[in-house]
Amino acid sequence: MKFYTKTHQYYCGIDLHSRELYVCILDSNGKVLVHKPIKAKPELLLKIIEPYRQDILVGVECMFTWYWVADLCEDHGISFILGHALYMRAIHGGKAKNDKIDSFKIATLMRGGMFPTAYVYPRQKRGARDLLRRRMHMMRDRAELMTHIQNTNSQYNLPEITENIRLSNYEDLVKRFTDPSTQKSIAFDCDLITFYNSQLSKLEWHIRKLVHDIDYHNLMLLRSIPGVGDILSLVILLEIDNVDRFPTVQDFASYCRLVKCKKESAGKIYGTSGGKIGNAFLKWAFSEAAVLFLKNNPDGKAWVEKKAKQFNKAKALTLLAHKLGRAVYFMLQRKTVFDQKRFLNS
């Protein structure tokens, strides 16, 4: 957890919503100068903070509408910080909770140096990152459609579908079933899969072109890892943005949800905590990379089998994902390609 501790003359805490903001401005002594709601319009926000522009800090909680406030502050040279939603417990507690109270608490946390900060992702890459996240959502939808076809096939105890459904002949899939309503259901699934295939290929071409223009060298470094292809390297690179923002490899592993934190008090351990804190997309990417790393890789399989004997297979894959995360951190820092021999022997 990182706190913003730099002092300012004025602190503007905003309880942010899609259509309305509740703004609270405090001075360095804690006196409330402004405390009122406004419409979520850039000109209104600039007008309300104009008298304090000489040294004001604007802070909001990290939610889906923070982009425009961050960009507005950047364009007008106003200091801006983003609050980590899961760490900002102070604004969620209390007997009463409303927008007015929340905005005051945000401003008070900023003034007291207890505002937990989140990373303000650069606007130049934000669209590409969000597009990749959207692609992941569509991929899961397509996987659900293919799973439904498999499950329906099992319901009727039909011969196993051996071919890849995504690439198979959809007319043959429909003809496997005799009931007209079931045929209609499977045909509907097949039509949607065809549509997803077409749109996802266009989307992936667009993303590749964007990232090649942004950071082609680091993309090639990531692709030197066995099993890490175009999309997986894009996900990892865009979710990290700049590896230098992590002071240590431990900080990076924690951000990627590759480690668990002990919950301890008075010498007693009560399990783990903080499982939801970190980047879920990097967690998925490194878990996926661990599985793909083993494909056509005898040395990698031998390493996992050795660890599986010590623990179990699931734990061995978790250890491999953690190890890959650490390797990526040092690869991006040192600008070196992946060395499998060194990786497996370390």
Which residue in 149, 14, 156 sits closest to 81, CA to CA? 14
CA distances from 164 to 143, 144, 173, 215, 296 (A): 12, 14, 11, 34, 19
Which one is predicted more confidently, 201 or 95? 201
Write down the pLDDT at residue 211: 65
In percent, how much of the chain has pLDDT > 90?
Answer: 79
Write down the pLDDT at residue 214: 67
Q: In which band, very low, low, confident or very high, does the pLDDT at 100 lie, cut at 50, 70 and 90?
A: very high
Average pLDDT on 101-130 reads 93
Which one is predicted more confidently, 262 or 339? 339
Average pLDDT on 172-190 reads 94
Write down the pLDDT at residue 90: 66
Residue 193 has pLDDT above 90, yes or no: yes
In percent, how much of the chain has pLDDT > 70?
Answer: 98
What tens digit of pLDDT does each residue of 241-251 get? Answer: 999 999 999 99
Structural tokens at position 256: 């990627």
What tens digit of pLDDT does each residue of 292-338 get? Answer: 999 999 999 999 999 999 999 999 999 999 999 999 999 999 999 99
Write down the pLDDT at residue 88: 82
What tens digit of pLDDT does each residue of 14-52 get? Answer: 999 999 999 999 999 999 999 999 999 999 999 999 999
Write down the pLDDT at residue 267: 77
Q: What is the pTM of this model?
A: 0.87
Query: CA-CA distance, 290 to 325, in Å (whole number)?
Result: 10
Write down the pLDDT at residue 235: 93
Task: State the Cα torsion 310-313-314-319 to the nearest 10°.
Answer: 60
Structural tokens at position 145: 């459609």
CA distances from 32 to 6, 57, 92, 205 (A): 20, 15, 21, 51
Residue 213 has pLDDT above 80, yes or no: no
Say if CB 256 and CB 327 are below 8 A apart: no
